[in-house]
Amino acid sequence: MTASADTKAANQMWGGRFAEGPDAIMQAINASIGFDRRLYAQDIAGSRAHAAMLAAQGILTPNDAEAIGKGLLTVLSEIETGNFPFRVELEDIHMNVEARLKEIVGEPAGRLHTARSRNDQVAVDFRLWVRDQCDAAISGLTALISAFLAQAEAGADWVMPGFTHLQTAQPVTWGHHMMAYVEMFARDRARFEDARRRMNECPLGAAALAGTSFAIDRHATAAALGFDRPTANSLDSVSDRDFALEFLSAASICAMHLSRFAEELVIWSSAQFRFVRLSDKWTTGSSIMPQKKNPDAAELLRAKLGRILGATVALFTIMKGLALTYSKDMQEDKEQVFDAADNLMLGLAAMTGMVADMSANRQSLAAAAASGFSTATDLADWLVRALNLPFREAHHVTGTLVAMAEAQGIDLPDLTLAQMQSVHPGIRAEVFEVLGVENSVRSRQSYGGTAPDQVRAQIARWKALLADKA
């Protein structure tokens, strides 16, 4: 197409207000087809629903509606097979589809835009796309939760150290640690489910900002597109992107959780810990050090949070200063959300693969669980129960015994009874029963505790919940 033909095409789409075509730089900054082409399926679905509604309301003739519907399916097929001629001079996916539709069906294509605007058109397209991403995130999180459940079930009674400040704190079980992430990612899934429910209102029919004088049926188009209802205020319908912000917010929290476990995998797979082994599928070698097995997939997942969180901040920044209703600033909403959604889904898939594939080193976990005076709290609790000491006094006695053991380079269970009685004469031989890590974790029977019985109960609860969801 020649430059003059490009100008003519653009002017035809804009109508008679503009005598000249856009400057090349203006065209470059104004066009969004380079990225919003991803909305093609949603755009065509919205247009087909709109055309069918117009026909049902007697605004379009049945023949015109049929031609438009078939023509839009042809456009859909062309795009999906890679045979669609995207044109920058037509700016966005909406005008590209409409222009191609006119080439296919002729004059009826010009009637499709009756009773709508690009403002409500993009609002419904984008909302449909984000809704699809919520569904994808929910599915991805379900798979990830299942992978953590499998790990938890396999090691429900394997002891490992629990940490605070990355220092050994108390013994816990592998299953309990895995179930902590089940809880986190389940809340992430609930956030996407909640966001999906809230965004499931249809803005189509709000037109430019004030609604339309045509006798349209917004409930019909909402139902046809799978929405619960039409949006209730035309100004709000075209001017807000809180549905996208809510998706990004949920994605940022989810990515933060992915990053936290990725950090644990990096630490745990190191030679200093050897808690887990990641297979060759999720690691890489070094170009110079042949012994290296780097947890690159986990490291990259840590970094993905930056992109997703950055997208969230960017869209908040775009929206925060906009008066009602639509402003062209809002064209910058999509690239941020597209990138965040892509990276979230990649992160969920990669983490699911790593969790399902990783193997825990039970021996290393158990050895680490028994080190670092991890049963000191159990000793303090025993002093309270058996000797009726106030907890603060028991805490002091235990701290003194820890210092004694540390000075000798041994752990608490390695102290003799006589050494313990030198700190408090009431200590009896039965104290050694609580100093074993296995006994320690079995004793944590409070609801949500690390005892294997409690862990297995939580696993059963979550498996039942997943089955109900399915």
Q: Within 10 Å of residue 106's Cβ, how many Cβ atoms?
A: 11
SS3 359: strand
Q: Within 10 Å of residue 148's Cβ, how many Cβ atoms?
A: 27
End-to-end CA distance of the chain: 52
113 assigned to active site: no
Question: Cis link prior to 81 (omega < 30° from 0)?
Answer: no
* Distant-in-sequence, close-in-space partners of 318: CB < 8 Å, separation ≥ 6: 329, 330, 332, 333, 336
Which residue type sits at 377? T
Among the options 4, 165, 213, 287, which is catalytic?
165
Longest dimension (CA), the chain: 100
Residue 209 per-residue DSSP state = T
Strands 229-230 and 276-277: unpaired
Classify residue 355 as exposed, middle or buried by CB count within 10 Å of its CB (0-12, 13-18, 19+).
Answer: buried
Among the options 77, 279, 286, 327, which is catalytic?
286
3-state DSSP helix/strand/coil percent for the chain, to nearest 5? 70, 5, 25
* Distance of alpha carbon 382 from the chain centroid: 43
- Locate 327 and state its tokens: 């402003």
DSSP 370-436: TSTTTTHHHHHHHHHHHH---HHHHHHHHHHHHHHHHHHT--GGGS-HHHHHHH-TT--GGGGGGSS
Q: Which residues make beta-bridge pairs with 167?
A: 164
CA distance 440 to 255: 33
Strands 229-230 and 201-202: parallel
146 assigned to active site: no
Hey, which residues are catalytic here?
165, 286
